[in-house]
Amino acid sequence: MTHGLRVHDVTVAYGGSHPRIAVDRASFSLDQGGSLALVGASGSGKSSLLLAIAGVIDSVGSVSWDQHDLASVPPHRRGFGLVFQDGQLFPHLSVGANIGFGLEMQGVGHRERAARVGELLDMVGLAGAQERAVTELSGGERQRVALARTLAPRPRLVLLDEPLSSLDADLRERLATEVRVLLEAHGTTWIVVTHDRSEAAAMAARQLTMSGGRLVESGDGVQG
Ligand code: ADP
Ligand code: MG
């Protein structure tokens, strides 16, 4: 493999009063343009592995992109975007300002930002919602805006941690497919974390199971 992500022997250990190994020598590769679901029960280490890849928490082992080791690259310079369960939108900013936030931080000018925000809102099915308050959005709309915000700076890798878990079952099923189509259309590479096996199958081409901090290859089959 030449282009994409390589995770090699990544271990995450937490200290404190109950020290534990949350991720135990996890290794996998993901080609650029590919997708992967990390599936496992609560507490199996999925979020810890995702955050280690993002560089947000300390880990040992190596994370590299296009064969460049990222150990010395801070999270905001990795070109990775994160989407969490609850979207974590800025409540005091409009939909448009939320989506344009990262671009503004990068110094992208008003006109270009507005164009990109419009393009992303079209893409996530919320055309014309620029001025809406995020506080008046439904849960599903909030997650679409969160996805648009993450995609705005064109991240080379998108990391989604239980992105649909706060939604009700019907919507979750519909959005799982929609989000995958969106990510594919955007030509990005992504890793989605979920405890739901059918959601994993709907949202990514390949699945890895996590259990007690260890990764196990599970193929594409939906089995127990
Ligand atoms: P998952 O996302 O699969 O539910 P996590 O990565 O959140 O799993 O957690 C893996 C293990 O690490 C669990 O035993 C959890 O209690 C522990 N853990 C997670 N975050 C912390 C933390 N900040 N400090 C100490 N232990 C933690
Ligand atoms: Mg988690």
Between 171 and 43, the more confident residue is 43
In the predicted structure, residue 115 carries a pLDDT above the cut 50: yes
Give 116's contacts (C-beta < 8 A, 6+ positions apart): 100, 103, 108, 152
**CA 52/CA 44 separation, integer angstroms:** 14
How far is C-alpha 196 from the chain's CA centre?
A: 16
- Residue 14 is part of a domain; what is its CATH number? 3.40.50.300
Give ion ligand 2 contacts, CB < 5 A. 47
β-sheet bridge partners, residue 139 = none
First to last CA, the chain: 30
In tens, the pLDDT along 72-109 reads 999 999 999 999 988 789 999 999 999 999 999 889 99
109 lies in some domain: no
| Nearest CA-CA partner of 28 in 57, 1, 59 | 1
Q: Which protein residue's CA is at the shortest distance from atom 23 of ligand 1? A: 14
**Boundaries of domain holding 180:** 4-79+155-215
75, 54 in Cβ contact below 8 A?
A: yes
* Residue 35 three-state SS: strand
CA torsion sign for 67, 71, 75, 77 is negative
pLDDT of residue 222: 41
Residue 162 lies in a domain: yes
- Residue 218 pLDDT greater than 70, yes or no: no
Closest CA to 12 of 43, 41, 42: 43
Q: How confident is the model at residue 16 (pLDDT cuts 50, 70, 90)?
A: confident
**126 located within any domain:** no
The closest-lying atom of ligand 1 relative to the alpha carbon of residue 193 is 2
Instruction: Specify if 84 maps to a domain.
Output: no
Task: Tell me which of 48, 56, 82 to substitute to probe ligand 1's pocket, judged by most ligand atoms within 8 Å of the beta carbon.
Answer: 48
Task: Please tell me the distance from the alpha carbon of residue 10 to that of residue 163, in angstroms, as a whole number.
Answer: 23
Tens digits of per-residue pLDDT, 50-69? Answer: 999 999 999 999 999 999 99
Please report whether residue 201 resides in a domain: yes
Q: How many CB atoms lie within 10 A of CB 222?
A: 11
| Residue 99 located in a structural domain | no
Structure confidence at residue 223 (pLDDT): 39
Domain count, the chain: 1
